[in-house]
Amino acid sequence: MVIESIPVGGEHEPTAEEIAEEMIPCPAHLRVFRELGHGGMGHVHPATDRNLLRHVALKRLDKSLATDGFYREGFIAEAQITGQLEHPNIVPVHELAIDGNGIPYFTMKLVQGVGLDRWLARNPVGSKERLEEGLEILLKVCDAVAYAHHRGVVHRDLKPANIMVGEFGQVYLMDWGLARLTRTRPASGGESQMEAPGPVGTPDYMAPEQARGIPAEMDERSDVFGLGALLYELITGKRPYGYDPDVDEMLARAREGKVIPIDDACRGVGVSKRIRTIAAKATSPNPADRYQSVAELQREVRDFLLGGLHLPRKAFRAGALIMQEGEAGDAAYMIVNGRCRAFRTVDGQQETLAIMEPGDVFGEMALLLDEPRAASVEAVDTVTVLVLDAATMNEGLGLEGWTGALVKALAHRFRNLEQRVRDSGLRR
């Protein structure tokens, strides 16, 4: 369990009133503190294990559900499944037991940190930090989900609130209470809950097959959708089905696969076409159209991240001059949103050379050849561009080596050819 700040151990002793109010079951070897929070079935408390002298998180089944076999078996299955998933991005379970009141509980590692939902709220949409660091977090979540799939476990409730980010870069995928086993069966009999018909997960992030509520249709690709929904929100600041406080309405949208086109959700946000395409494929309503494994999705995200397409972004208003003919070429640009006009000034008149759209690159020749700009570029609409400076390009292309020599040679030839064509036109 990850918390932002909670006193445990000797820093805070629960009062008699607190214990009476909370009705905390208290095994002899555990010192249990006030509740941190609760979900559909259980309550979570910080605690101190007196035997091992360490702080832990204790999750216990709600007292009113302790005698209901359906919930009791599901709670025990959650602890057993989580306990068998030994992975750096899954919080380890220490102990599963029944307290003196007959209520099952389990303890797990207690980590200082924040939920991904809080993390997203702190990092503005479109910022380099949100995209770059957020993708690093997502890749670690992919590691956890891929490992779970290897062990025959589908999570089925991937959402920011179930992902915890520690103080030193730790990332944990939490809450396996809705997990489904695809190959093996739990010894506790938790299969009854795992195979129960009905919608499973959180409507805002669930795949259409989860909303339809047929367990046999839910497989690893359902988690691919969940990961895609996380990526979608990371990029756009919105959720795939939009938002409506009416849960039934959200379930209906999920059931029908009414994913808002990511290009619509991204309007006004400078985001590369490549990462938008990845998110769109991962959140395809039809499982056959998604990535067929987490590894495929993860590979695409990692290639994007390593490819440098998370470069700094800059916005320009319509009519603003982005670069000017004759000035030093200290950067190149890729258009993300909007249109630009390239032009030269000939005999005091502007000569339009091209209208450029998203995906087009300009300014690279002057940057490569360390020469003055040969043309000016202005924003036709509100424009967002990726900015590539000399240092980043040199690092990415290795311009000090043979590849750099080749690129520069091609640039020289292209410039010479362009000059010949221009001179030919002037002679006519």
Summarised one tens digit per residue, pLDDT across range 193-239 is 566 667 888 999 999 999 998 888 999 999 999 999 999 999 999 99
pLDDT, position 395: 54
Coil, helix or strand for 135? helix
Rg (Cα) of the chain, in Å, rounded? 27
- The 3-state DSSP composition of the chain as helix, strand, coil percent (nearest 5) reads 40, 20, 40
Looking at the chain, the domain(s) classified CATH 2.60.120.10 span 313-427
- DSSP collapsed to 3 states, 220-271: HHHHHHHHHHHHHHHHHCCCCCCCCCCHHHHHHHHHCCCCCCHHHHCCCCCC
Mean pLDDT of the chain: 83
List beta partners, residue 213.
none
For residue 159, pLDDT beyond 80: yes
| Range scoring the smallest mean pLDDT among 24-38, 114-128, 249-263 | 24-38
- The domain over range 313-427 is classified in CATH as 2.60.120.10: yes
Which one has a higher pLDDT value, 75 or 185? 75
In 72-208 the beta strands, taken as DSSP E runs, fall at 93-98, 104-109, 111-115, 153-154, 163-166, 171-173, 180-181
Percent of the chain predicted with pLDDT > 90: 43
For residues 137-151, give the mean pLDDT. Answer: 97
pLDDT, position 419: 58
For residues 130-159, give the mean pLDDT. Answer: 95
pLDDT, position 115: 92
For residue 188, pLDDT beyond 50: no
Summarised one tens digit per residue, pLDDT across range 311-361 is 677 889 999 999 999 998 888 888 888 999 999 998 889 999 999 998 888
pLDDT, position 409: 62
List beta partners, residue 372.
328
Asked whether the whole model's pTM tops 0.75, one would answer no
Q: How many residues does the chain have?
A: 428
List beta partners, residue 383.
316
The model's confidence at residue 406, banded by pLDDT at 50, 70 and 90, is low
Distances (CA, A) of 84 to 80, 93, 107, 119, 195: 6, 9, 14, 28, 20
Summarised one tens digit per residue, pLDDT across range 258-311 is 999 998 998 877 677 788 999 999 999 999 999 999 999 999 999 888 875 566
CA distance linking residue 416 with residue 426, whole number of Å: 15
Q: CA 162, 165, 166, 172 torsion: positive or negative? A: positive
The model's confidence at residue 24, banded by pLDDT at 50, 70 and 90, is low
- Catalytic entry in 49, 99, 143, 157: 157
The model's confidence at residue 410, banded by pLDDT at 50, 70 and 90, is low
The residue with tokens 């808002």 is 260
> What's the token pair of residue 184?
């093996």
pLDDT, position 313: 78
pLDDT, position 415: 58
The burial class, CB within 10 Å (0-12 / 13-18 / 19+), for 17 is exposed
What superfamily would CATH give domain 2-109?
Phosphorylase Kinase; domain 1 (3.30.200.20)
Q: Please, are residues 147 and 93 in contact by the beta-carbon 8 Å criterion? A: no
Looking at the chain, the domain(s) classified CATH 1.10.510.10 span 114-306
User: Which of 3.30.499.10, 2.30.140.10, 1.10.510.10, 3.40.50.720 is the CATH number of 114-306?
Assistant: 1.10.510.10
Residue 157 designated active-site: yes
The residue with tokens 């339809």 is 212
pLDDT, position 21: 40
Summarised one tens digit per residue, pLDDT across range 100-124 is 888 999 999 987 789 999 999 999 9
Looking at the chain, the domain(s) classified CATH 3.30.200.20 span 2-109
For residue 23, pLDDT beyond 50: no
Q: Please, are residues 179 and 78 in contact by the beta-carbon 8 Å criterion? A: yes
